[in-house]
Amino acid sequence: MPKPNPRHPKFPIPGGPELRTKGWRQEALLRLLENVLSVGEDPDNLVVYAALGKAARNWLAHDEIVRTLKIMEEDQTLIIQSGKPVGLLKTHDKAPLVIMANCNIVGQWAKAEYFYELQEKGLICWGGLTAGAWQYIGSQGVIQGTYEIFMRIAEKRFGCTLAGRFVLTAGLGGMGGAQPLAGRMAGAAILVVDIDPERVAKRKSIGFLDEVAPDLDTALAMVGAAVKEKRAVSIGLVGNAADIYPQIVRRGVVPDVVSDQTSAHDLVYGYVPKGMSLEEVRRLRKDGQGQLMAASRASIADHVRAMLEFQKQGSEVFDNGNLIRTQAKQGGVENAFDIPIFTEAYLRPLFCKAIGPFRWMALSGEESDIARIDDLVLEIFPENRIVTNWIRLARENVPFEGLPARIAWLGHGERTQLALAVNDLVRKGELAGPIAFSRDHLDAGAMAHPNIMTERMKDGSDAIADWPLINAMTLCSSMADLVVIHSGGGGYAGYMTSAGVTIVADGTDAATERISHAITNDTSLGIIRYADAGYEEAINAAEAAGLLLQPGATLRGGT
């Protein structure tokens, strides 16, 4: 039976042993669709996160997806185009149940303005990364990635700890909301600014924020006390980062780490320019988009100038993947890209080994299933410091949102090993129900984004989008349950393409086969992508895994 959802009463949390479909594979995908709405920012409008990331194009499309998942057989495939179901095809029982493509616009037309026109006509929707693919698991999906960034910074600059360090950032939406908890878990005193008091209150209510400061003076005093005591704390402040950051600069306060995760990617439906209220911005979204975009870009320029000043004063400053540098450069900040992107600066050595954000969801709705898998992870990977440290921290600090779920940065071979072991637990009846495995789209072989994932690739292949397309085709060939190709919408239009996958561990031999092929091939492509770009760590990993076409050599260059 579904469980009540205090946050969104109309969208209960799925769970229970009863099937409404013709099999657990279909039921799994139905529950994952229900889950992203149960944890979404604005489920009444199908928005999951990032201002525009939607689970389906409209309610008519949503209802038809639900109806079809309930009646379809295992030898059929549901085709979804930009959040709208368009066909149910006869395939075979090893084919994906769902294939979708969201928001893919031909290159010369892939502009924010054209996306908004298509959206107004009801012809398209942006699936975000995991929103439209029904893979979002609430803020937890971002918490570990943010935590790992902070810990890589700690290793690089601060003697492996952020205790006694001041982290300044902004944004408390569906993605940025992970920052305060991740910062506190990393041992820092973290101050997070957001213009929306409701978002600040929400993060306080679920325990991600320890305190909410009434003003900047109080906030800085609270941070100063925590830094002096080397006490981890997360503090929220209602305000516009484009106002607050320059004020902190003028006061001569230099944070140790500075970033931002406001919705700077979207100048209309995301970012709020300084000097404007939320109500003013909402009015302009329909009839004053040009004015709003210009104001947002000018505000972002001031925002980034302050970040650059912090960098000049010695702060570790990074772009957290929201296009804020891109918007600032278009707004006249010529050196905006002096700020590094987090992927290149801190995480690329992990991606070279296909280590990335793997995740699993308990379709039963029972937290005990995740607890058992936590134990399993610690049993299987006792020498993996990143994973064992994270699982212990997550158990103590990370609340479940929606279906109980967990994320952990696992790599090639490790993901397959865990998923097969979990499938055995389902087969033996040691879990209350099947488990769905997925990952963030920001994964080694799954994303092309020249300003985020693939910025400054060693071989200059930043903008080549073949890799996520190959990834999706390979996953279809490898019997995954759901495969998706996404491109950017809103302010992300024209900037990225990614691929996503979901595989259901239902305890069957067929699931063993799907896991063995799909998960293994997914991470194999991640290593191959970076080996092809010339990264030594990836070449070594490819050779060790037997992935090179010519052992001991790479096929590079030439005509």
Above pLDDT 70, what percent of the chain? 98
Compute the distance between CA of residue 480 and CA of residue 35 in angstroms, rounded to an integer.
20
Above pLDDT 90, what percent of the chain? 89
DSSP three-state, residue 90: strand
pLDDT at 140: 81
For residues 273-288, give the mean pLDDT.
Answer: 90
Strand 257-258 with 316-317, pairing:
parallel
**Dihedral over alpha carbons 440, 446, 447, 448 (to 10 degrees):** 180
Compute the distance between CA of residue 523 and CA of residue 156 in angstroms, rounded to an integer.
27
pLDDT at 108: 96
pLDDT in tens, 418-458: 999 999 999 999 999 999 999 999 999 999 999 999 999 99
- CA–CA distance from 123 to each of 8, 103, 110, 117, 467 (Å)? 27, 10, 14, 9, 26
- Of the ranges 3-7, 54-58, 147-151, the best mean pLDDT one: 54-58
pLDDT at 558: 37
- CA–CA distance from 161 to each of 143, 165, 347, 496 (Å)? 17, 9, 17, 34
Q: Determine contact, residues 74/88, Cβ cutoff 8 Å.
A: no
pLDDT in tens, 504-518: 999 999 999 999 999
The pLDDT confidence band at residue 378, using thresholds 50, 70 and 90, is: very high
pLDDT in tens, 229-273: 999 999 999 999 999 999 999 999 999 999 999 999 889 988 999
Residue 491 φ/ψ, nearest 5 degrees: -70, -15
Give the DSSP letter string of 362-409. ETT--HHHHHHHHHHHHHH-TT-HHHHHHHHHHHHH----SS-EEEEE
The pLDDT confidence band at residue 391, using thresholds 50, 70 and 90, is: very high
For residues 140-159, give the mean pLDDT.
Answer: 92
pLDDT at 552: 52
CATH fold match for the domains 1-12+24-138+351-549 and 140-346: no
pLDDT in tens, 298-325: 999 999 999 999 999 999 999 998 999 9
Is a pLDDT exceeding 60 seen at residue 551? Answer: no
Compute the distance between CA of residue 176 and CA of residue 179 in angstroms, rounded to an integer.
6
pLDDT at 175: 82
Domain ranges of the chain: 1-12+24-138+351-549, 140-346
For residues 288-293, give the mean pLDDT.
Answer: 90
Residue 91, both tokens: 């395939």
The pLDDT confidence band at residue 491, using thresholds 50, 70 and 90, is: confident
Burial class (CB within 10 angstroms; exposed 0-12, middle 13-18, buried 19+) of 99: buried
Pick the CATH number of 140-346 from 3.40.50.10730, 3.40.50.10420, 2.40.30.10, 3.40.50.1980: 3.40.50.10730
Is a pLDDT exceeding 60 seen at residue 553? Answer: no
Contacts of 450 (CB under 8 A, 6+ apart): 462, 463, 495
Which CATH topology does 1-12+24-138+351-549 take?
Urocanase fold (3.40.1770)
